[in-house]
Amino acid sequence: MSADSTTTTPAAAGADAPGVHPGGRHLGLALFVIAAAQLMVVLDATITNIALPAIQTDLGVTDADLAWIVNSYALAFGGLMLLGGKAGDLFGRRRMFQVGIGVFTLASLLGGFAPDEGLLIGARILQGVGAALAAPSALALITTTFPAGRSRNTAMGVYAAMGGVGATVGMLLGGVLTDALDWRWVFFINIPIGLAVLAGTKFLVEAERHPGRLDVPGAVTGTGGLITLVYGITRGGEHGWTDGLALVSFAVAAVLLSAFLAIQSRAKDPMMPLRLLKDRNRSGSYATMLFVGAGMFATFYFLTLYMQLILGYSAVRTGFAYLPFSVGMGAAAAISSKLVSHLPPRLIAGPGLLVAAGGMLWFSTLGTDSSYAAHLMPAMFVTALGLGMSFVPMTLGAVSGVAHQDTGMASALLNTAQQVGGALGLAALSTISTSAADDRLPDAAANLYRAMGAKDFPLLAKAGEALTHGYTMAFVAAAVMFLAGLVVTFVAVNAGKQQHTEGAAPVHMG
């Protein structure tokens, strides 16, 4: 979720900024504004998933391009999150929060009216840009708006809860809107929320600005490199790995990402300070979260397609079908948050990732007529239980031993790793899935829709079997991703048991 699926500010959010804290009723309104914004940004990573089959049918989106509707948001959000945090430092957190919400709301309007897949993907990129500008400032605005003590602790708790429930709300709301109205309403729903948030920003207290400059070259090379890499993976899977455009994409990605690292090592105000990667526990946590994001994003994507296209679930039923995932994730996160003070992080996250990989292998045994109660529901719960065990120790590992002024940046990098990992993983796994399905039946997805329209039941059965085979191969690959994360955890993360670190932000669980 997309377990997509919480962000933090790259600057220290703990210090009180000068200024008068609003009181009483205004504090309640300020909390509503920040919570609504956080919920909107988080749920948008999952709300579109439920509408994917409807979007594909309405706009005639190819199987290869369908993943871009999810990936374009994740890439822009993850790739520009650190730049958005820096912009808040320089130009004012409230101002950048307002700009980000404004861009996000406008992009949602464009997405709702998009007449074709190209404009829809463009709107999703713009949504990601808006989220990357707004989300990093939200946490800092809590510390400047709410006085230290009970009111700030309550606000932090609500903020964290929005990160946790956002993915679930996205699934349920996406199902209801798609079934009751139209898939376009998964975008239109953001407009009244966005306008209400913008109106309420007058209750937020501006944070102190910091000197420095934006690392625009770093943002361009880093985000550009990721986009061309994902395009190369998608293109190679569709047209063969010797395809000229795919090879050019990989070459451009290599040049841009190398340039990004060179810029970060020399820049006075880098977007991603490389010093944060020198500690093995932090770099290990980031690498693990990259693999976790890769497997988790793909799980939501392929399970949604499987439930709607193969089992014939409605969008609403699909949304409710994900409830065991949320229950398992929440339960495991609560348990692991207590275990971190008794066990080293790798002894919590490692077994968790092993359990998650087991859940993925369980999903890989799905057939065209698998039962929800006996197969889908328990596999969902097991996978969520495993993933939930990994989030808290990895978050604490990312901020453990970090200088106070770098705590926000360290947490933001963990969120970035999850979003980027999700985009790269979904590109790779959708390539595997499409190739496996088309080996059984060329153009399996197109044949499924053709068979539905013509009521050609033999072709429908054959296409359903081919697509299911493709999905199960993707689940096997996701299990490998989690096992890779497990290896990284045990090799790189050697921290001992620890207490919660002040300033750690929640991580997207979707």
- Rounded Cα distance between 128 and 2, Å, is 13
| pLDDT value of position 148 | 66
Cβ neighbour number for residue 503 with a 10 Å cutoff:
21
Beta strand extents in 286-396 (DSSP E only): none
Q: For residue 417, which of 113, 173, 79, 89 has the smallest C-alpha distance? A: 79
Structure-block tokens of residue 3: 């377990």
- 68 pLDDT more than 50: yes
| pLDDT value of position 34 | 79
76-119 pLDDT, tens per residue?
888 888 888 778 777 888 888 889 999 999 999 999 999 988 89
| pLDDT value of position 242 | 81
| pLDDT value of position 465 | 93
Contact 135, 81 (CB under 8 A): yes
Cβ neighbour number for residue 174 with a 10 Å cutoff:
29
| pLDDT value of position 126 | 94
Contact 212, 196 (CB under 8 A): no
Q: Which helix (H) or strand (E) holds 178?
A: helix 150-180
CA distances from 381 to 27, 300, 318, 373 (A): 37, 13, 15, 11
CA distances from 510 to 169, 335, 387, 438 (A): 11, 19, 11, 29
**Which of 13-22, 292-301, 437-446 has the weakest average pLDDT?**
13-22
| pLDDT value of position 210 | 64
CA dihedral 166, 61, 128, 220 (to 10 degrees): 150
Rg (CA), the chain: 22
- Rounded Cα distance between 232 and 240, Å, is 10
Cβ neighbour number for residue 282 with a 10 Å cutoff:
25
The more confidently predicted of residues 439 and 79 is 439
- 6 pLDDT more than 60: no
| pLDDT value of position 161 | 61
- Rounded Cα distance between 183 and 173, Å, is 11
**Which of 53-62, 168-177, 199-208, 358-367 has the weakest average pLDDT?**
199-208
| pLDDT value of position 425 | 87
**For residues 348-371, average pLDDT:** 92
Contact 508, 415 (CB under 8 A): yes
| pLDDT value of position 149 | 66
- Overall pTM surpassing 0.85 (yes/no): no
Percent of the chain with pLDDT over 70: 84
Percent of the chain with pLDDT over 90: 20
Cα-flanking dihedrals φ and ψ of residue 248, to 5°?
-65, -40
Q: How confident is the model at residue 468 (pLDDT cuts 50, 70, 90)?
A: very high
**Which of 19-23, 298-302, 494-498 has the weakest average pLDDT?**
19-23
Contact 319, 167 (CB under 8 A): no
Q: For residue 224, which of 261, 186, 252 has the smallest C-alpha distance? A: 252
Structure-block tokens of residue 85: 């945090």
- Rounded Cα distance between 510 and 507, Å, is 9
The more confidently predicted of residues 89 and 120 is 120
Contact 440, 465 (CB under 8 A): yes
Q: What is the CB-side half-sphere exposure of residue 116 using CA atoms within 13 A?
A: 1
- Rounded Cα distance between 301 and 453, Å, is 24
- 11 pLDDT more than 80: no
**For residues 410-437, average pLDDT:** 83
Q: What is the CB-side half-sphere exposure of residue 347 using CA atoms within 13 A?
A: 11
Give the angle subtended at the CA of 238 by the CAs of 315 and 167, to the nearest 5°.
30
Q: How confident is the model at residue 259 (pLDDT cuts 50, 70, 90)?
A: very high
- 216 pLDDT more than 90: no
- Rounded Cα distance between 407 and 394, Å, is 14
Contact 7, 510 (CB under 8 A): no
CA dihedral 91, 212, 272, 413 (to 10 degrees): -40
- Rounded Cα distance between 191 and 206, Å, is 24
- 365 pLDDT more than 60: yes
**Which of 42-46, 258-262, 342-346 has the weakest average pLDDT?**
42-46
**Which of 49-53, 186-190, 205-209, 287-291 has the weakest average pLDDT?**
205-209
